[in-house]
Structure formats: C-alpha cells, structure tokens
Amino acid sequence: KEFFLEQIRNYWPKISEEMLVPDYVGLRPKIFIENKIYSDFLIQEDAVNGTRLISLHGIESPGLTSSLSLAQDISSKIN
C-alpha cells in the first residue's frame, strides 16, 4: 500500500493514506461477432502507426488458468 501511495503522490501530493480504500474497478466487455456473443477469448494482431499490436480480449477465469500458455504463445509471436 505504501508503494501505491507514493506513486499516487506523484500526481496528488496531498493525498493521505486514510483517503485510500481498497475496491474493485474494471471493465468486462463482451466480444460480439456477427451480432452474437463470442464465447471464447480472442487474440488479435494489428499494426498501429507502423507498430505491431497484439491484443487479448475476453479472457476471464478459464483463460486466466491458461495464462502461462498464453504468455508463451504471445512471446513466441514477438521474439
């Protein structure tokens, strides 16, 4: 928590530890393909401004179980 507080103080120097409260924040977008919910996760490769971009979409709990395998797959794509 102290490291987190130090990093926040780079932007808000007067923030106190008492002002920080643990919470969950996030987005869980669903993938739609041809107007239907896609039930699996999706690995998408694109180029943005001449830079290669690899995006992983829709990875929920089952996908997190295979995160090491996904990391190896993505690593092999970029190396």
Q: What is the pLDDT of residues 30-75, one digit of tens each?
A: 788 888 888 788 888 998 888 888 988 888 766 667 888 889 999 9
Q: Which residue has the higher pLDDT, 37 or 26?
A: 37
| Cross-strand partners of 62 | none
pLDDT confidence band for 27 (50 / 70 / 90): low
Provide the pLDDT for residue 14: 92
Provide the pLDDT for residue 9: 94
Provide the pLDDT for residue 16: 92
Q: Give percent helix, percent strand, percent coil of the chain, each to the nearest 5.
A: 35, 25, 40
Contact predicate 63/71, CB 8 Å: no
